[in-house]
Amino acid sequence: MLIGYARTSTADQDAGLEAQVRDLEQAGAEKVFSEKVSSIAKRDGLEQALDYLRDGDTLLVTRLDRLARSIRDLMEIVETIREKGAELRILAMDLDTSNATGKLMLGILGSVAEFEREIMLERQREGIQKAKAEGKYKGRAPTARRKSAEVLELLSSGLTEVAVAERLGISRSSVQRIKRQAA
């Protein structure tokens, strides 16, 4: 049985998800699991697809980056698939792990994809450093610090740290930090 898996990183990528599902169904997927979640988050759809796999099945994905976030992640997924007696097929690469060449190519391409991601992250870090040096990058605004006056006022009115945190939508540790800095 061919089982498809489709994923997009954000909810506003509906067209991309629909295209993946369409491609998987055209390739013969009898059941398709799909989700809108970042690859670094918990991927329930992927877990369901892997759980659904049986001996002789093939997990079908459109592209490698829709399946795994790193070579380690890819190898763990491939091992799970192998343990179930199933195979992996990636449409965009015409790659099938049912043969030795497919397995070799998967390892090589997974390494290249991880390398590309590392290069992209390195460039991003360099860009952030440059922007910081030019005074253009301020980072994320400290949301809890903007509420310092409210935190101190609520604490002085007798509310507990937990109650203050819940009321203002910040963490208890932020309340404690503000309290320490005010002392």
Catalytic residues: 9
The three-class DSSP label of residue 126 is helix
- CB burial string 98-112: b at 16+ within 10 A, e below: eeeebbebbeebbee
**Do the Cβ atoms of 105 and 93 come closer than 8 Å?**
yes
Q: What single letter denotes the amino acid at residue 181?
A: Q
- Sequence-ordered alpha helix ranges (H) in 27-140: 44-52, 71-83, 100-133
